[in-house]
Amino acid sequence: MKKGVYLTPFFRIKMFYNHINANLSLLFLKISLFLLGFTAFLPQLSSSLFNNYFCSFLILTIGLSHGSLDNLKGIKLLKYFKLKNVSIFYVIYIVLSLLSILFWINYPVISLLFLLILGSYHFGKEDLEFIEINKNIFKNLLFLLKGLIAVSAPLLFNFNETINIFILLSNEHNYLITIFNYLNENNYITLLVLLSFITTVYLPKDLKTKFLIYVEFSSILILNYIFTPFIAFTIYFCFLHSLRHIIGLNKNLLNYKLDTNRSYNIYKLLINFYKYALKLTAISSLIFILGFYTINNNQSLDSSIYKIIFPGLAALTIPHILLEYLYESFID
């Protein structure tokens, strides 16, 4: 900062969080490059360490936790609407989750398609949390296109394995799989990746931010090149998407007071976050584990993991995104 320039505490804190967010983008690239080298030189050790069980642990501890403060947002919304009974929030949240699970059981193909579209939109929007974007009437479509890299990258590099997961989740080889086969045979998946890249570069206003977003995009491609779809998704979901949301919660919800004369890193923000989020994270993880043991008797271990993790994430994503929308509309 130039000598003699005074910044208000608000802008100093904003700059600190933007700096931490930029460090997260670079950290994600370093993780991706390290894993690229690790898998190249120690392939056997890599395959034994990075497996579906380890990924499930990461999702249950880091991935799920980034929604563990939804109750605090819900309480603020209830106060806004002058509702005093906190149980209203919990009942609505749980009912929406249960309805999502029931819908998945009865309509798995539609549920999977809905998850892919809604998840892509959510990733595209939330990963721009600290970024000033170009105004555009089609911004919601651009968010979707940006987030599609989370779906199109595994299809590009590991098409057959990704399709096998989709078949497992939708219980059959159906018209959705036929559509993906058509897209792959006609190189439309490559086109989706390119569209996601163009959108990624277009959305941020300044060049520095465009570079950081490009770094994240490249890192996602690297991960999908070296790992299976589930492992690549887990690393992205936990170490970029979830960590960024946790940083944002420290700033916007927990109002974590930064001393701008000291250095702060992501680790310190994580400690502060888990002071509040540990209880609900543990409860959510326990529910997932119980669900896993419930269906594991009739399924292979990997199949059980997929059939619990993805429908479970869908069940939490719907009330989570709805809450985010209402919170941004009435509170932010």
Residue 258 and residue 281 share a domain: yes
184 in a structural domain:
yes
Any residues with CB less than 8 A from the CB of 203 and at least 6 apart, and which?
Answer: 128, 131, 133, 134, 142, 146, 213
Domain boundary among 228, 243, 270: 228
151 in a structural domain:
yes
Residue 112 and residue 87 share a domain: no
Please give the pLDDT value at position 49: 80
Q: Structural domain of residue 146, as residue ranges?
A: 108-117+134-228
Distance separating alpha carbons of residues 271 and 267, to the nearest angstrom: 6
Distance separating alpha carbons of residues 156 and 158, to the nearest angstrom: 6
Mean pLDDT for each consecutive 10-residue tract of the chain (332 residues)?
49 72 91 93 81 90 89 91 92 94 92 93 87 78 92 96 93 83 94 92 82 92 95 95 88 64 68 87 87 72 87 91 90 75
Quick one: how many helices (H) and strands (E) in the chain? Answer: 16, 0
Q: Could you write out the three-class secondary structure of 139-181? A: HHHHHHHHHCHHHHHHHHHCHHHHHHHHHHHHCCCCHHHHHHH
Please give the pLDDT value at position 1: 46
Of the candidates 148, 170, 101, the one whose C-alpha atom is nearest the C-alpha of residue 318 is: 101
**Which residue in the block uniquely carries the two structure tokens 């993991």?**
305
Please give the pLDDT value at position 236: 96
Please give the pLDDT value at position 298: 65
Residue 202 and residue 113 share a domain: yes
Other Cβ atoms closer than 10 A to 204: 19
183 in a structural domain:
yes
Residue 205 and residue 172 share a domain: yes
Residue 162 and residue 75 share a domain: no
DSSP, collapsed to helix, strand or coil, labels residue 294 as helix
Enter the pTM of the model. Answer: 0.90
Residue 140 and residue 101 share a domain: no
Distance separating alpha carbons of residues 22 and 312, to the nearest angstrom: 31
Please give the pLDDT value at position 6: 46
